[in-house]
Amino acid sequence: MTNMKQIKKIFIANRGEIALRIIKTCKEMGIKTVTIYTDEEKNLPHSLAGDESYCLGSGPLSETYLNQDKLITIAKKAQADAIHPGYGFLSEKAIFAKKVESNGLIFIGPDSLSIELMGDKKTSKIKIQELGVPSIPGYHGDNQELSNLKNEATKIGYPLLIKASAGGGGKGMRIVEQESEFQSALEAAKRESLNAFGDDTVLLEKYITSPRHIEIQVMSDTHGQHFHLFERECSIQRRYQKIVEESPSPSVNAELREKMTAAAIAITRGINYRGAGTIELILDTDGSFYFLEMNTRLQVEHPVTEMVIGLDLVKLQILVAQGDKLPFKQEDLKQNGHAIEVRLYAEDPDNNFLPSTGIIKSIGETSVLHTRLDCGYVDGNEVSISFDPMLAKLIAWGENRNVAAKSLALALDEVLFLGVQTNRDYLKRILTLPEYLEGKTYTHFVKTYENKLRPQEKSKEAKALAIAAFLFSQKKSSNEDVSINNKTDVWAALSGFRNI
């Protein structure tokens, strides 16, 4: 159904950097915003960044950001016209979209039918097969008996992948190399899927040994227009979580791009989609590609697309939600240069990626041209374990891939997050690795080059310079003499200071 109501106030059902990102566009469009926060987040930037802000209290996520009725009640109290879910949380919950619209509010996203259809791996694969889009050979049936699944696995052949039908993020997923491992892997996948999603249904797929993860950004309006905004490559992942994303993909040529984007448009047109979405594809080494899933929301990595095509995706989402016709044609959209994004996490890659907490003493600003920092924290904020460990996204644009990678590596030197251990140095090691610069970005990149990505031992001179820099910065900020009694404290404080 087409909304013909101009949106004047948006309730943001999210937090952190994505809430701030939405607010930025709303300000440019003259739209008022309503933000929410928990007791724990009173000092975080998003808590008071909206024109109105409401506290959700405390408690588990089910009582705060996932409490659908509470959020809708606040949105109505604030007299918002629409709700933007951001990503994560309730962004792909069909029941939430339905509740929003049944309460007279506009849901800034697709309709609940599209979310429901594409949110289930099984039903989505059946649908895209009807549309003639290639999918990975596998079994997506209802018969979940062990004997049947074993037979289907034999037909597919090993290695294969067991995947939770209802989930994502790597939960309920197991790679099975040979038949003898199948039963134990199946039981583990079903158990994990049931715990995470309340559903132990699984599907089986051929496992492609050296794939790339390619996704097509799509945008559709309510006037029958369906666009693709080209591809992103998100192959560099750890435990199925993306850490480096870029556009264009170094592995996609013009001919392949045309085939992939045509497949994406066939899907959005075939399900009468609206709004922003992402068609995720697996690319094999022989140029074959297969549908993986569709994300019916804005993606974390949307900035790389924005920097390459010069459009504001949040603005397009809002225009579509209020029933406007998108003001361009497909032939107007071009890729310009190259953009790369890295996700900065509060974790220690050199200590088995152990999560990190603490007070952020200094984030730092980047002076590198054509860079962008999307961050949900400011100096003095505390990083806790209550929410996702992603601190920020750092994005760089360059006239080509090497320029973008070099700019991003330089920018990482300046975005410090002093006081909290981060994966900053690890990301820089990825960006400067020769294999990365050569475009060998398969999904097993992190595992393949694990040894090369380990930190190099610092020389005595480098350590001396680090301590001197730390002492100088402390003395300068306090105007007092600083003494150090514990070398461990020095390196803890220096974590994230500079890659020396």
Question: Which residues have a catalytic role annotated?
Answer: 297
DSSP SS3 for 1 = coil
CB neighbourhood size of 170 (10 A): 15
CA angle 90/219/269 to nearest 5° reads 100
What are the tokens at 221?
A: 């309006």
Q: Measured between alpha carbons, how far is residue 152 from residues 148, 179, 452, 487 in Å?
A: 6, 11, 39, 58
DSSP SS3 for 23 = helix
Alpha-carbon gap, residue 440 to 484, rounded angstroms: 44
The conformation of residue 330, written as its DSSP 8-state character, comes to: G
Alpha-carbon gap, residue 453 to 465, rounded angstroms: 23
Alpha-carbon gap, residue 497 to 500, rounded angstroms: 9
The conformation of residue 168, written as its DSSP 8-state character, comes to: -
What are the tokens at 45?
A: 């930037």
**Terminal alpha carbon distance of the chain:** 57
CB neighbour class for 11 (10 Å; exposed up to 12, middle 13-18, buried from 19): buried
Nearest one of 163, 136, 135 to 149, comparing CA atoms:
163
Alpha-carbon gap, residue 38 to 47, rounded angstroms: 8
Residue 317 neighbours by CB under 8 Å, 6+ apart: 84, 108, 109, 275, 276, 298
DSSP string across 270-322: HTT--EEEEEEEEE-TTS-EEEEEEE-S--TTHHHHHHHH---HHHHHHHHHT
Alpha-carbon gap, residue 169 to 363, rounded angstroms: 28
Alpha-carbon gap, residue 207 to 175, rounded angstroms: 7
CB 3 within 8 A of CB 101: no
